[in-house]
Each structure stands twice: as C-alpha cells, then as structure tokens.
Amino acid sequence: MEEKPYFCPNCRSNRVKFNVITSYAQSFMKDALTGNIVEFKDPNPIPEPEATIQCLVCSFTGNEMRFIKQAEREPRVNTSTTTFT
Ligand SMILES: [Zn+2]
C-alpha cells in the first residue's frame, strides 16, 4: 500500500476511513469418502500488485490507484479559512 492520500471517487466525502481487502488462500484436506474436512492449513495471503480499498462511508470498493488518483485530482485544501470536519 502506498503512503499517499486517498479520496473516495464515489462519495467524494471520505479521505480517512478505509478497509483494505486482502485475499487469502487456505488449503485443507478432505476425507474422500465422507467429505469431512480432516485438516486445515494456515491461510496464506495472496500477493496482489495493487491493494483493493473499500471506502467505509459508502462501501465503494476499487483499486488503490483510483483512490490515489482522485486525491491527486482534488487535493485537500489546507488553509486557515477552510475547515473539514
Ligand atoms: Zn466513499
């Protein structure tokens, strides 16, 4: 994940609250006759070239780059007369 500002491209009101969505592969062994699960291995995160981010305000989910690009298009204005709450 990048150390860059995010801005949700969907609701365009959130820059601070996000989920990162991670996929895991977890192998397990089944009994061929009964179908019972006999062993679960530890989950392994599946490496992804780009993180998947979810906005916690509107639940929009997309590539990290979409959030970064939106933040670059609409950078947060940081002046003494503008207050975001
Ligand atoms: Zn959003």
The pLDDT profile of the chain, 85 residues, written as one tens digit per residue, is: 899 999 999 999 999 999 999 999 999 999 999 999 999 999 999 988 889 999 999 999 999 999 999 999 999 887 656 555 5
Cα 40 to Cα 12, 31, 45, 77: the distances in Å are 42, 12, 15, 50
pLDDT confidence of residue 6: 97
pLDDT confidence of residue 20: 95
Domain boundaries, the chain: 18-73
pTM over 0.75: no
In contact, 54 and 19? CB cutoff 8 Å: yes
Q: How far is the CA of 31 from the centre of ligand 1 (A)?
A: 44
Q: How far is the CA of 56 from the centre of ligand 1 (A)?
A: 7
